[in-house]
A and B are shown apart, each in its own frame.
Chain A
C-alpha cells in the first residue's frame, strides 16, 4: 500500500556559525533546515559538535571518577587542554575561567587572561570561554580576555538579560561570537538576542544557551523549550534562529545520582542528557568525561554517517 509521506519542510534555516581563527582549525555549527537527523526531510550540513570543558584551576568539586582521566593535569590547565586535544581528539575546547571566583581563590584577572592565552597558543583549537559567574569579576575579565584573543574568533559567554552590555561591546570590537543566556524561556531568549543586536552586534554571531538541566532534574523543560524555539526559528523568526549550546557536563556531574553510583552511571548520565539534548536540537555540547564525550561523538557519527 503506497503511503502518502508528509514531510515537514521549512524555509528558514538555523544560522551558521564558524568559530575559530580563519586559516586555522575551525568548527562550524548550525545551518540545519529541520529537526535533527531527519535527513529525508531537511538538511543538517554541520553535525553537532562536542566541546571538552577545561577548568582553569583544579576543579575540587568534580567527583573522583570524573577527575581520574585528568589525574596528570588537574593542576595544569594548559596540559589539560593539550590532553583533550591530543589524546581525546577534541575539535573545540570550552575554558571555564572559574579561578577568579572567590570559591576558587580569587585569582587576579590578568593572570586568568594569561592562562587562557597560553591555552590558545598551546592547542591551536577554536575556543569557547565562559566566565566564573560573578558578574563583577566577569565584566573585568571579559574585555581583557577578548582583546588578548583578538583574531581567534572565540565564542564568549555568558551574556544575560541583566548583564550583556560589557560582553557584547567587547565581542563586537574584537570579532568574537557571543553566548546569549536565558532561563528556560523562549521570550527571554528572544529578548536577549534582540538586546544584543540593538548594540550593533551581528545577530548571526550569537549562539543561544537555553539553560542546561540534567537528566532527571528538569531536562524535559529544556528539551521542550528547545523544540518550541526551533519551531519558531524554522517558521521564520530570525531572533530565534541561533544555534544552541548546552553545558551538559557541568549540570550532570552536580547530580547525586550521577556522582554516587560509580563512574559508569555518571558517564551514562552525561551521555543520556547529551543524547536528549541532541534530539531536541543542540548544536554544541560542552562535556566533561572523555569517555562520555567519545561515545556521544560516535553516536553523532553513527547518525550522520553516510548520509551527509
Chain B
C-alpha cells in the first residue's frame, strides 16, 4: 500500500504533463505567447454584441473579469445576461443563427480570433447550466467522460475522486459511482455537473443560474463550493437571486434594458459592495433594492 503510493508520487513528479506547478512556472516567464496549463485566467471583454439572427440581444458590453474572483451578473429576465455568459466560451454560437461580435480575451488569447478553436476554448472555460443535465451514464462516467475525450492521460480514478470532492458531492456518491447519474436528486445532479466541469481542468467556470432549480439546502451547498472554487478558478455566475450575488461575488455586473425591444446593456459593473451599497446609476439601485424586477 505504502510502496504503491510512493510510486505514484514519483511518477507524478517525473511527468511534467501532470505537474501543474511546472506549467505555472512556465507561464510566469516573460511574455508567454499563449497561456498554458490550468492556472486561473481573467477575461477581458471589449465591445461585445450578441445576436440571434437579426435580433440583437446584447450590445456593446465591456468588462474586466478578474482571475480567482467570483463575478456575478444580475438583471431582469431577458436582458441578455445568459447570452453574454454563453459568449464567453463560444457556446452562444451553437444555437442556429446565433453569432457574436467584439473582442473576448482569455488571458492573452482572443477567443473570437480567426483560427481560435471553440472546442479548445470550451475545455478551458467550463460551463454549468441552469437545469442540471447529467449524462444518462454512471456517476463515474459522467465525470470521466469529458476528461477522456480531452485526452487526459493521468489516473482517472484519482481525477474523478478529486473532482467530486471539489464539488462537495464525494461523500454522497462514493459508494455508488457505478449507478446512473440520473438517479441523483436535483441538487446532487447539479453538483455532479460541477464535478464534471472541474474534471477537464478549466481555467474559468461559467455558471448560468446554477441554483435556480434547487431547494435552499442544495443552494447553500453550491454556494459553499463556489467559495472553494474561486481559490483555483475564475468564476462567473448569472443569478436572479440578489442575496446570492451579494453573498458570494466579489464583482457584480448589472444588465438592463431601458426600452422594450432594445438590446440588453451592461448598465453598471463594479465591486459587489459598491453595487449593493452605493451604485452610480438609479436603475441599478432600484433593482438591487428590489424596487422593480
Bind each other: no
